A and B are shown apart, each in its own frame.
Chain A
Amino acid sequence: MNEHLLEVADLKITLPAGGATITPVDGVSLSLGRGEALGIAGESGSGKTLTLKSIIGLLPPGAFVEGDLRFALGDQAPIPYAATDVHGRGISIIFQEPMTALNPTMRVGDLIAEGPRIHEGLGKGAARERAVELMRRVGIPAPERRARMWPHQLSGGLRQRVMIATALSTRPKLLLCDEPTTALDVSIQDQILGLLQEIRTTLGMSIIFVSHDLAVLGELCERLAIMYAGQVVETGPTEAVFSSPNHPYTEALMTSVPSFDATSDKLAGIEGHPPDPRSFPPGCRFAPRCRYAQDDCAEAQFRLVPTSAERSTGCIHTEVFAGRER
Chain B
Amino acid sequence: MLFGIVLVVFLVLQITPGDPARQIAGLRASEADLEEVRQELGLNDPVIAQYGRYVGNLLQGDLGYSYKSRKPVADIIGDRISVTVWLLTTGVLMTLLISVPLGVVAALRKDRVADHAIRGFGLLGLSMPAFWTGVILLLLVALPTGWFPAGGFGDTFGEKLRAIFLPALTLAIGSSPFIIRGLRAAMISVMESDYISTARSVGVAGGRLVRRFVLRNAAGPGVTLLAIEIGYLLFGAVVIETTFALPGVGQGLVIAAQGRDLPSVQGYTLLFALVVVAVYLLSDVVTAMLDPRVEIDT
Identify the A interface with B (CB < 8 A): 53, 56, 58, 60-61, 87-89, 91-93, 95, 97, 100-106, 111, 114-115, 118-119, 150, 152, 163, 166-167, 169-170
Neighbour of A95 across the interface among B192, B194, B202, B293, CB < 8 A: B194
| Known contacts A89-B203, A119-B203: A101-B198 contact under CB 8 Å | yes
Neighbour of A169 across the interface among B193, B197, B202, B290, CB < 8 A: B202
- B195 and A118: CB pair below 8 A? no
- B205 and A97: CB pair below 8 A? no
Interface residues on B, range: 20 to 34
A-chain residues with CB within 8 Å of residue B291 when the two chains form the complex: 104-105
Please, which residue of chain A has its CB at the minimum distance from the CB of B220?
A105
What separation, in Å, do the CA atoms of A114 and B110 have in the docked complex? 26
- B193 and A100: CB pair below 8 A? yes
Neighbour of A114 across the interface among B194, B197, B199, B292, CB < 8 A: B199
Neighbour of B217 across the interface among A53, A56, A103, A114, CB < 8 A: A103
- B201 and A114: CB pair below 8 A? no
What separation, in Å, do the CA atoms of A150 and B216 have in the docked complex? 14
- B198 and A95: CB pair below 8 A? yes
B53 interfacial contact with A, CB 8 Å:
no
What separation, in Å, do the CA atoms of A61 and B110 have in the docked complex? 10
B213 interfacial contact with A, CB 8 Å:
yes
Please, which residue of chain B has its CB at the minimum distance from the CB of A95?
B194
What separation, in Å, do the CA atoms of A150 and B294 have in the docked complex? 12
A-chain residues with CB within 8 Å of residue B205 when the two chains form the complex: 87
What separation, in Å, do the CA atoms of A104 and B218 have in the docked complex? 11
Please, which residue of chain B has its CB at the minimum distance from the CB of A60?
B192
A-chain residues with CB within 8 Å of residue B203 when the two chains form the complex: 87-89, 114-115, 118-119, 170
- A103 and B213: CB pair below 8 A? yes
- A115 and B212: CB pair below 8 A? no
| Known contacts A100-B194, A106-B213: A166-B292 contact under CB 8 Å | no
B116 interfacial contact with A, CB 8 Å:
no
Query: Which of B195, B202, B208 has the most chain A CB within a 10 Å cutoff?
Result: B202
Query: Would you give the shortest CB distance from B241 to chain A, in whole angstroms?
Result: 38
What separation, in Å, do the CA atoms of A118 and B205 have in the docked complex? 10
- B208 and A105: CB pair below 8 A? no
Query: Would you give the shortest CB distance from A319 to chain B, in whole angstroms?
Result: 44
Neighbour of B200 across the interface among A58, A105, A152, A169, CB < 8 A: A58
Query: Would you give the shortest CB distance from A229 to chain B, in whole angstroms?
Result: 25
A-chain residues with CB within 8 Å of residue B194 when the two chains form the complex: 95, 97, 100-101
Contact flags (1/0) for B175-210 with A, using CB distance below 8 Å?
A: 000000000000000001111011111111100100
- A103 and B199: CB pair below 8 A? yes
What separation, in Å, do the CA atoms of A166 and B213 have in the docked complex? 15
12 A–B pairs (Cβ distance < 8 Å), ordered by A: A58-B201, A91-B201, A95-B198, A100-B193, A100-B194, A101-B197, A103-B216, A104-B195, A104-B217, A105-B290, A114-B203, A115-B203
Query: Which of B193, B195, B292, B293 has the most chain A CB within a 10 Å cutoff?
Result: B195
B-chain residues with CB within 8 Å of residue A58 when the two chains form the complex: 197, 200-201
Neighbour of A87 across the interface among B195, B202, B217, B292, CB < 8 A: B202
What separation, in Å, do the CA atoms of A119 and B197 have in the docked complex? 17
A-chain residues with CB within 8 Å of residue B199 when the two chains form the complex: 103, 111, 114
Please, which residue of chain A has its CB at the minimum distance from the CB of B197?
A58
| Known contacts A105-B216, A150-B293: A166-B198 contact under CB 8 Å | yes
Query: Would you give the shortest CB distance from B115 to chain A, in whole angstroms?
Result: 12
What separation, in Å, do the CA atoms of A88 and B200 have in the docked complex? 8
What separation, in Å, do the CA atoms of A93 and B205 have in the docked complex? 16
- A152 and B293: CB pair below 8 A? yes
Please, which residue of chain B has its CB at the minimum distance from the CB of A168?
B202
- B202 and A167: CB pair below 8 A? yes
What separation, in Å, do the CA atoms of A95 and B195 have in the docked complex? 9
B-chain residues with CB within 8 Å of residue A106 when the two chains form the complex: 212-213, 216
Query: Would you give the shortest CB distance from A314 to chain B, in whole angstroms?
Result: 30
A-chain residues with CB within 8 Å of residue B293 when the two chains form the complex: 104, 150, 152
- B198 and A170: CB pair below 8 A? no
What separation, in Å, do the CA atoms of A103 and B217 have in the docked complex? 8
B-chain residues with CB within 8 Å of residue A103 when the two chains form the complex: 195, 198-199, 212-213, 216-217
Please, which residue of chain A has its CB at the minimum distance from the CB of B201?
A93
Please, which residue of chain B has its CB at the minimum distance from the CB of A99?
B194
Please, which residue of chain A has its CB at the minimum distance from the CB of B202?
A115
Please, which residue of chain A has its CB at the minimum distance from the CB of B110?
A61
10 shortest interchain CB distances as A-B pairs:
A88-B203, A115-B202, A87-B203, A100-B194, A150-B292, A101-B194, A103-B195, A105-B216, A93-B201, A88-B202
